[in-house]
Amino acid sequence: MRMRIAAFFCVLFTAAVGVANDRPNVVILFADDMGYGDPACYGHPQIRTPNIDALAKDGLRLTSFVTGSWCVPSRTQLITGRYMPRVKFNGGTGADGRGGLPDSEWTLAEALQDAGYATHMVGKWHLGYKLKKFLPVHQGFDTWFGLPYSNDYIRPWVQTDEPLGLYRGDEMVEHPFDQDPLTQRYTAEATSLIKKHSADQPFLLYIAYAMPHLPLHVSKEFRGKSQFGLYGDVIEEVDWSIGQILKTLDQKGLTENTLVFFASDNGPWINMPPRMQQAGNELWHAGSVGPLRGSKGETYEGGPRVPAIIRWPSKIKPGRVSAELVGMPDIYRTLLSVAKAEPSPNVVDGHDLTAFLQGDVASSPRKDYFYFRSGLEAVRVGDWKLRTKTGTAELFHMRTDPYERVNRAADKPEIVKDLYQRMQVMAKEVGKRVQKIEN
């Protein structure tokens, strides 16, 4: 842990005056590749998600929440509050990758740990593993049980001989292992941590599920139980897990002062590459983007727009639904704020949502969002989104056309020009290129 002297004395002062009770516990429930249209409360006609639906009923359901369009950038935004191009990983973070979060990053876990929180992680990391210093327990988490990267980093889907194993702390403790009961094992770990919680210290608990990332795995208790085949079984088991965690919070009397954030890291792998279409993986094993356009790995909304719900009973009015633009970096910035944690010394791309969440203001503080893939491919500013990947300007009015069906570029050349200039400024700032567009 990289402890700062100022933060250290801040923790001592906090403990001395006993203000920990006015800061919420934080539980992050993070699905992997769950589509915007997968939960019932986001419109799926067959998959049953009563616990996700109840979370939405008791909190704020966001319908324009965006993040990175695949695993690493979305987790980077959550853990650092920064767009991925700002973070110098110096290598890949999957199997055989030697990159990882540098010491200069001020992670969510480090910030809350230094603010006096107990910090725990269960599940997938994917932000570096080859050197132990990259692992969660050296990035601010007190404990970690889970996988270092995605569950498909094994043959035949990825040509690697690196063992895919479960870690506890900074040691691999199980290889090989059965993925079928993994959601249940993560659930048992998470509920055990909540049950052991000391009432005099707030905690951060980050649960990053392996599912429904391909290859799909589900326990025997849920196999064949849904009305939507194997994929439905997997989603319904994740929903069960969420229900168990929420139930445990309630049993411990922690619900009122716990902020729960649920989201997916990105959209479903509808356009999965040929390497994934083997050994039991089928095209229908990907989730749903609902009426949105696009897939995981793309900058149409089906890739970066995901289901997202925030519940905080003591602060957020239940049953709210908002189409305001919110981005994953905002979660980082907001959690540091509510935890009274030291701000990051780095450029942060997130905004503090506290006033918006509490209903003090009607609008989200986020006014724009930049969509990266190999380069900077799109930007949304207010109601307008410009996408340049094809070399032709694609301009969509997101309030009236969230499905990106009607290209308005020819009618709104001045908006195209303004948004394109914004993209060029950001691209220069982070060292990425923007596709030149035709006039």
Per-domain residue ranges for the chain? 5-357, 368-430
Q: What is the pLDDT of residue 299?
A: 98
Give the residue-averaged pLDDT of 280-294.
96
- Confidence band, pLDDT 50/70/90 cuts, at residue 21: low
DSSP-assigned beta bridge partners for residue 69? none
What average pLDDT is seen over the chain?
A: 95
- Confidence band, pLDDT 50/70/90 cuts, at residue 20: very low
Catalytic residue status for 126:
yes
Taking 90 as the threshold, does the pLDDT of residue 7 lie above it? no
Q: What are phi and psi of 121, to 5 degrees?
A: -130, 140
In CATH, 5-357 is 2.70.180.20? no
Give the residue-averaged pLDDT of 133-149.
98
Q: What is the pLDDT of residue 22?
A: 84
Give the residue-averaged pLDDT of 336-348.
97
Taking 90 as the threshold, does the pLDDT of residue 17 lie above it? no
Q: What is the pLDDT of residue 439?
A: 62
Taking 80 as the threshold, does the pLDDT of residue 15 lie above it? no
C-alpha angle with apex 222: 158 to 275, nearest 5 degrees?
15
Taking 80 as the threshold, does the pLDDT of residue 256 lie above it? yes
Q: What is the pLDDT of residue 8?
A: 43
The half-sphere exposure of 294 on its side-chain side, counting CA atoms within 13 A, is: 22
Q: What is the pLDDT of residue 438?
A: 79
User: Which one, of 385, 392, 397, 396, lies nearest residue 423 by Cα?
Assistant: 385
Catalytic residue among 44, 120, 126, 351: 126
Inter-axis angle of helices 50-58 and 229-251, to 10 degrees?
A: 50
**Higher-pLDDT residue of 377, 12:** 377
User: Which one, of 223, 316, 235, 227, lies nearest residue 268 by Cα?
Assistant: 235
pTM of the model: 0.95
How many Å apart are CA 160 and CA 95, to the nearest integer?
7
Catalytic residue status for 41:
no
pLDDT digits (tens, 9 = 90+) for 191-220: 999 999 988 999 999 999 999 999 999 999
Determine the topology of domain 368-430 in CATH.
Arylsulfatase, C-terminal domain (3.30.1120)
Give the residue-averaged pLDDT of 413-422.
98
User: Judging by beta carbons within 10 Å of its beta carbon (0-12, 13-18, 19+), is residue 61 exposed, middle or buried?
Assistant: buried
Taking 90 as the threshold, does the pLDDT of residue 6 lie above it? no
Inter-axis angle of helices 229-251 and 182-195, to 10 degrees?
A: 10
Among 10-24, 226-240, 263-277, 383-397, the least confident range: 10-24
Give the residue-averaged pLDDT of 24-50.
98
- The answer to whether 87 and 329 have CB atoms below 8 angstroms apart is no
User: Does residue 423 sit in helix, strand or coil?
Assistant: helix
How many Å apart are CA 120 and CA 112, to the nearest integer?
11
Give the residue-averaged pLDDT of 247-261.
97
Taking 50 as the threshold, does the pLDDT of residue 1 lie above it? no
Q: What is the pLDDT of residue 201?
A: 97
Catalytic residue among 10, 41, 44, 71: 71
